[in-house]
Amino acid sequence: MSTTHFKAMLVTENTDATFSREIVNRELVALPEGDVLIQVKYSSLNYKDALSASGNKGVTRKYPHIPGIDAAGIVVESTSENYHAGDHVLVTGYDLGMNTSGGYGQYIRVPADWVVKLPENLSLRESMIYGTAGFTAALSVYKMIQGGIKPSAGNILVTGATGGVGSIAVSILHKLGYSVIAATGKAEAKEMLLEIGAKDIILREELNDQSGRILLKGTWAGVIDTVGGNMLATALKSTNYGGSVTCCGNVASPELLTSVYPFILRGITLYGVDSVMCPMDLRLELWSLLANEWKPFQLEQNVEEVSLEGLNQKIDLILQGKLQGRTIVNLAL
């Protein structure tokens, strides 16, 4: 191939222990070893990306570093018999963008085991509207359904509903016929949440029980929780008998102060959701569902497309909890 350099967002640790972000030209030879070289067309913005781009050593150990835990593009070179030049592919999870150069560069080189061929009925751009956020939402919905919760069971609560995971979970559940109550701290987002499929909204203050009671009135057939902390504890106490609750985030808090009573008196199930190391067979099944039966009617709604240069502001907004919906990154801009 003729290209030797590519554009990327590089995060650098400064001598005063601060971190800076700049758009630079990098050499292809600086990429890590791997089976598949991919020209990245689109990436997306997730909370974990913002942490990596801000110098969080719990996400990224060594700097300088190119963040971006999502990437969708075209195979340029491959030593794997499973992938060939010209294949349209996507990569989410594993170590991409954490300690391996990620999707905020126009090229990535990764192990073949990380790569997913783009499903039919899904474009590269659409795959990054989903990204890790959408995949995590799908995995959460999948586990809730595996727990036996059907649309007829009653209302499903989605916390953090204006965020990437929450908003896509609302849309998927609506597509599947569920009645969704969206929890948010942004009352002004009600119209947007109704447009993407919520039946109604509930303000997060109403999910911050401080009573000390071991159980609350049963309200939810199932819960897709994206925030953790006391909102999750409150949701557990107010889930109906036999309900299913999924947990995938800790934006509110990583702590969970609860009791065994929702589990032993109401028989509810709490599912942990990890999209990073999801087995490939389930990963492929979920991407197929996202491309077909689960594809929301409103997938393109509440999506903003930015260049690498426009990403800085969005990173700051997501860290402040002020970003709604999905932000995708067009590497060609």
pLDDT score recorded for residue 209: 96
pLDDT score recorded for residue 318: 93
Q: Can you give the three-state secondary structure of the chain, one letter per residue?
A: CCCCEEEEEEEEECCCCCEEEEEEEEEHHHCCCCCEEEEEEEEECCHHHHHHHCCCCCCCCCCCECCCCEEEEEEEEECCCCCCCCCEEEEECCCECCCECCCCECEEEECHHHCEECCCCCCHHHHHHHHHHHHHHHHHHHHHHHCCCCHHHCEEEECCCCCHHHHHHHHHHHHCCCEEEEEECCHHHHHHHHHCCCCEEEEHHHHCCCCCCCCCCCCEEEEEECCEHHHHHHHHHCEEEEEEEEECCCCCECCCCCCCHHHHCCCCEEEECCCCCCCHHHHHHHHHHHHCCCCCCCCCCCEEEECCCCHHHHHHHHHCCCCCCEEEEECCC
pLDDT score recorded for residue 204: 93
2 band by pLDDT with thresholds 50, 70 and 90: low
pLDDT score recorded for residue 1: 60
- pTM, two decimal places: 0.95
Q: Averaged over 119-136, what is the pLDDT?
A: 97
Return d(Cα 43, Cα 305) in angstroms, integer. 10
At 214-236, the pLDDT tens digits run: 999 999 999 999 999 999 999 99
301 band by pLDDT with thresholds 50, 70 and 90: confident
Q: Nearest 5°: CA angle at 41, between 168 and 32?
A: 105
What are the chain's domains? 5-118+302-330 (3.90.180.10), 134-272 (3.40.50.720)
For residue 275, pLDDT beyond 90: yes
For residue 279, pLDDT beyond 90: yes
Cβ–Cβ under 8 Å, residues 86 and 50: no
3 band by pLDDT with thresholds 50, 70 and 90: confident
298 band by pLDDT with thresholds 50, 70 and 90: confident
**Residue % of the chain over a pLDDT of 90:** 96
At 64-117, the pLDDT tens digits run: 999 999 999 999 999 999 999 999 999 999 999 999 999 999 999 999 999 999
User: Mean pLDDT for the chain?
Assistant: 96
At 312-323, the pLDDT tens digits run: 999 999 999 889
**Residue % of the chain over a pLDDT of 70:** 99
pLDDT score recorded for residue 324: 87
pLDDT score recorded for residue 327: 97
For residue 249, pLDDT beyond 70: yes
